[in-house]
Every structure is written in structure tokens, then in C-alpha cells.
Amino acid sequence: MSDIAEIFDYAANLMKDLEMFCQKPSLRLDGKVYELGFDMYKFVFNITNIIADKCREIPELREKKVILALDWSYRAENNIGKYDVFCSPFNVPITTTEGFVYAKDIDLVR
């Protein structure tokens, strides 16, 4: 999780309450049910690009068919940056498995 913190701004909150997040908590946000947590897309996208770059640097791997077949869009320079989310006390993002949600109506899921 500490490595994920390098690309996900709210990892400290997740790590602090990791046991709770393992129980798949959900909230109804503006009428739609969301599972609390984080969207792994950025993490998977970025780590894939980093691994592709590393494989291209390793002599034993760079000539492998799978590495040669990689599109050049798979490189770390195309990674999605880490963005701090600015908010006010009246507009706080809620971290969900579908990304940040800025909900006006928040209800417990029973």
C-alpha cells in the first residue's frame, strides 16, 4: 500500500482504515450505491508502463516477442500523474472503487 501512495493521494486514509475497507463498505451517493475504496485503473496503468520500460532495458527480455510487440504507448512517460484533490468542507471527495465522487446526498446502505 505504501507504494500505491506514490500515485494515489488518499492511500494514507485507506491504510489507516484498511480493515474497514476489506469489509467492502458501501454508501448511496446521489442515489447510486458505491463501494468505498479506490479505483485501481491508474495504479495498474502506471505500473504496466513502468514494467514495459524496464523490460525494454533488460538485454535478455528486450528481444522477446512479447516485448517487441508492445505498443510504444506503454512507457512511463505516458503515466497518469498524481493529482492532489482540492476541496472545501462543503465539497469533499469520497474515494470509491469507481474513482472520486463528489456527492450532494449521502446515505448509508443497509
The string of pLDDT tens digits covering residues 65-90 is 999 999 989 999 998 876 656 666 77
Q: What is the mean pLDDT of residues 22-26?
A: 86
Which pLDDT does position 84 carry in this prediction?
58
Residue 24 has pLDDT above 90, yes or no: no
Q: pLDDT band for position 2 (50/70/90)?
A: low
Percent of the chain at pLDDT > 90 equals 40
Closest C-alpha among 18, 8, 81, 13 to residue 39: 8
What is the per-residue burial (b if ≥16 Cβ within 10 Å, else e) of 68-86?
A: eebeeebeeeebeeeeeee
pTM for the model? 0.61
Residue 101 backbone dihedrals phi, psi, to 5 degrees: -125, 130
Query: Partners of 96 in the beta sheet?
Result: 36, 99
C-alpha cell at 31: 442515489
